Chain A
Amino acid sequence: MSAAPRPDTPPRLEPFRLRGANFNLLVLRLLDPRPEAVVPAIGDQFRRAPGFLRFAPVVLGLADLEVPPDQVDFPGLIAGLRGLEIVPIGTTGGTPEMRNAAMAYGLPPIRSAGGKESEEPAPAPTAAAPAEPPASAPPPPPQPAGAMRPTMVVDQPVRAGQRVWAQGCDLIVTATVNAGGEVIADGNIHVYGALRGRAIAGGGDNAEARIFAQNFDPELISIAGYYAVREGLAGAPIGRAVQVRLTGERMRFDPIG
């Protein structure tokens, strides 16, 4: 939610762009769950190669830990590593329970894309988790690689100043999107009330995405980066049930229902 009014800079349609990228990350495979054993050992190695890991983001490998998750002192490990200027950013491997325990301390599971860590038993890919899920969150169900994420459903009105972002999935709003509200999805957007705010579908490049609205009355519509503001919608069937899609570089507005 953006609370502050925008400064007087020229308005930009996109305050951000979402792009996939591959990173080479170091995996720190924990063989011992005790910070008092792990941290000094890293410290020793670190002293022999000063600066080697400095501020390096590392992924904690959990596959070799053979203790129950509650015996792993994640806060202690995180603090100890941070003390050595090593920044743990996530986890890989290990049991779902173990990954979940780490998630409670802000370390989400990270899926290894290339399978370079070959000796590691392939980690079950998981749905990307929010940065700080409640500690009681159930373990994310294992899914086959590349599986669809569940659609995000919003039952409350999206009010002025509110922004809903369905990351990597479709979005369904069963209430209205009010003027000044913004709904964004990497997939399709369905609004079963009036769409009076902004709807941005298809993320940056999904030109197949569509927008459906029960009562089409938007401020701005965008699919895959192509957009139209209200002024440019003079020919669109305002107030009707409408489907919006991209044909080539043109947006099409078709009445439905």
Chain B
Amino acid sequence: MAQVVVVTSGKGGVGKTTSSAAFATGLAQRGKKTVVIDFDVGLRNLDLIMGVERRVVFDIVNVIQGEARLNQALIRDKRVETLSILPASQTRDKDALTKEGVQKIIEELAKEFDYILCDSPAGIEKGALLALYFADQAIVVTNPEVSSVRDSDRILGVLQSRSKRAEEKRDPVKEHLLVTRFDPARVERGEMLKLEDIQEILSIPLLGVIPESESVLRASNTGTPVIMDGESNAGQAYADAVARFLGEEKPHRFLEPERKGLFKRLFGGRAA
């Protein structure tokens, strides 16, 4: 049975698309047939981060409006065989998405894929509501910052009341907390929220903590999901989180500030 997983946050710029790309790639690397859908119609970032922007012909809106078949719009990843991307449209807005249209697409994808990741747009408007409506599981992306935690709290409430599972009074959507852009040094200095505080407010299970890292921006700019960068902390943290998502036990890493040795302190060099 295919699992529909929404990657959501409420707030913008916290790392939803980066996390969607990393998670989709990570699941596919582990042999799961995975498709990631960009619900951010009108903005369209996922294809850039996945490095497939030059291969986009049709998009989700074309499929919903019957202008293209689903298979024509799906982009098969060249690096990981079991990974596909369904891009968003840049020339339409979110009103082009309909519940029936999205349902048809998800039902059709469910025949072929194990995991259907929905990369939600920011906000709690139509695009975000449609992205989470069909979800079986939710990855709630949060930064260690008050407004981000507040918005995540809000979106958890929306998941509990406005998802299809909630409307049909089935088992609730399974929620996972993914803390991104975590900077242990700034947390230690009290400039960012502590992990315990975030967990205390949101009170959902912690899936992973992704450290703030330059490698994320580098990966975005080169169109390579950061999880493919096995050298970077962020890439390793995403790989751990994917493993935990699939039920493995992994200790959380990168929670303490890196103690720089004298050599590093003298010659600069920041955490990769």
* A-B complex is real: yes
Which residues of A come within 8 Å of B, CB atoms?
A: 1, 3, 156-157, 159-162, 175-176, 178-181, 196
With an 8 A cutoff between CB atoms, is B109 at the interface?
no
A-contacting residues of B (Cβ < 8 Å)?
124, 150-151, 153-154, 156-158, 160-161, 200-201, 203
Interface of B, secondary structure class, is helix
A-B contact sample (4 more), CB < 8 A, given A157-B153, A159-B157, A175-B203: A3-B158, A159-B154, A160-B150, A161-B153
**Contact among B153, B160, B203 for A160, CB-based, below 8 A:** B153
Cα distance, A159 to B150, chains bound together (Å): 9
With both beta carbons as reference points, the residue of chain B lying nearest to A194 in the complex is identified as: B200
Contacts of B203 in A (CB 8 A): 157, 175-176
Chain A residue at minimum C-beta to C-beta distance from B129? A3
Q: Knowing A178-B201, A180-B154, say if A3 contacts B124 (CB, 8 Å).
A: yes
Task: Please give the distance in Å from A165's CB to the nearest CB on chain B.
Answer: 14
Shortest CB-to-CB span from A191 to chain B, Å, is 14
Check A161 against B201 for contact (C-beta < 8 Å).
no
Measured CB to CB, the closest approach of chain A to B93, in angstroms, equals 18
Pull 15 A–B residue pairs with CB atoms less than 8 Å apart, ordered by A: A3-B124, A3-B158, A157-B203, A159-B154, A160-B154, A161-B124, A161-B154, A161-B158, A175-B203, A176-B203, A178-B153, A178-B201, A179-B150, A180-B150, A196-B201
Query: Closest B-chain residue to A158, C-beta based?
Result: B157
In the assembled complex, which residues on chain B have CB atoms less than 8 Å from the CB atom of A160? 150-151, 153-154, 157
The interface residues of chain A lying within 8 Å CB-to-CB of B201 are 176, 178, 196
Report the minimum CB–CB distance from B260 to chain A (whole Å): 36
Given contacts A157-B203, A159-B156, A176-B203, contact A1 B151 (CB under 8 A): no
